Structures are given as C-alpha cells and as structure tokens.
Amino acid sequence: MSAIGSLVFCTDCGNLLEPSKGIKDSVLKCECCGTENRDTASKAITTSTKASSFPSLLRQKRSAIQTIERSDMKNEAVISVPCPECGRKEVRWSAVQLRSADEGSTIFYTCDCGHKWNTNN
C-alpha cells in the first residue's frame, strides 16, 4: 500500500483503496485485484497552521465587503453612444465587475457635459 496524503493506493494495481480507519495493524483489501494491504495511515502525521503564520497582502485585502475606488476604474474608452442629456454622440465608458463572476459587468458612461449613467450587461 502507498499513501499520498489521506489517499491510500494498492501497491499491486494502483487502485484507490477504501479510506483508512486509522487502526494500527488493520488490513485494507483491494476491491480490484484482491490484494491485502497493511494500513499505514495510522502512522501519518496531520499538521495544521493558522492563516497568520503566512502573512499575505492579498489575504489582508480580502473581505466580505469590497470597495471600488475610482482609480481602479481607469479603463475608460470612447464609444459612439448618444448622451441622453445633451445628445452628444460620443461618451466615455468603463466596465466594472460589481456582481458575481457569472453575471455581466456594469458599464459606466460619462459625458463631457457632466451627465453620468450606467447599465448592467
């Protein structure tokens, strides 16, 4: 038997064996080839760490509520969409993913006249 993490494999055919019960001197039988394998998982050592053990800037920024700064939206471009306020034919726009990843992005439009509006894709 060979073990990789908590997974235990048959030494003869490589089949994944039933989960170990952690009992010393127990035998796991392979359902594929019938080979009996000694359970060595009881010798395995499990460790755990705290998130604070590995500080990360990304982890520090992670939060249930995320704020978007205007500087994050510096991906403006010009598009031929008429402004509903003044009728100008070209306005600046930017796309931001405000909702979950499987939903469309929100498009923000800004006209030179100062009018702003948005649409959800």
CATH code, residues 70-120? 2.20.25.10
Give tens-digit pLDDT for 77-100. 899 999 999 999 999 998 888 888
The pTM of the full predicted model, rounded to 2 decimals, is 0.40
Largest CA distance in the chain: 83
Beta bridge partners of 93: 77, 109
Residue 5 has pLDDT above 90, yes or no: no
Q: What is the pLDDT of residue 71?
A: 67
For the segment 10-39, the average pLDDT, to the nearest whole number, is 80
DSSP 6: T
32 is annotated as contributing to ligand binding: no
What region does 25 belong to: left with phi over 0, alpha with psi -120 to 50, or beta? Answer: left
Average pLDDT, the chain: 79
For the segment 7-24, the average pLDDT, to the nearest whole number, is 78
Residue 1 has pLDDT above 60, yes or no: no
Tokens of 30: 């392979």
How far, in Å, CA of 2 to CA of 16, rounded?
10
Higher local confidence (pLDDT), 71 or 105 = 105
Give tens-digit pLDDT for 47-77. 777 777 777 777 777 766 667 676 665 667 8
- List CB contacts of 54: < 8 A, sequence separation 6 or more: none
Q: Do the beta carbons of residue 107 and residue 118 sit within 8 Å?
A: yes
Tokens of 94: 């930017």
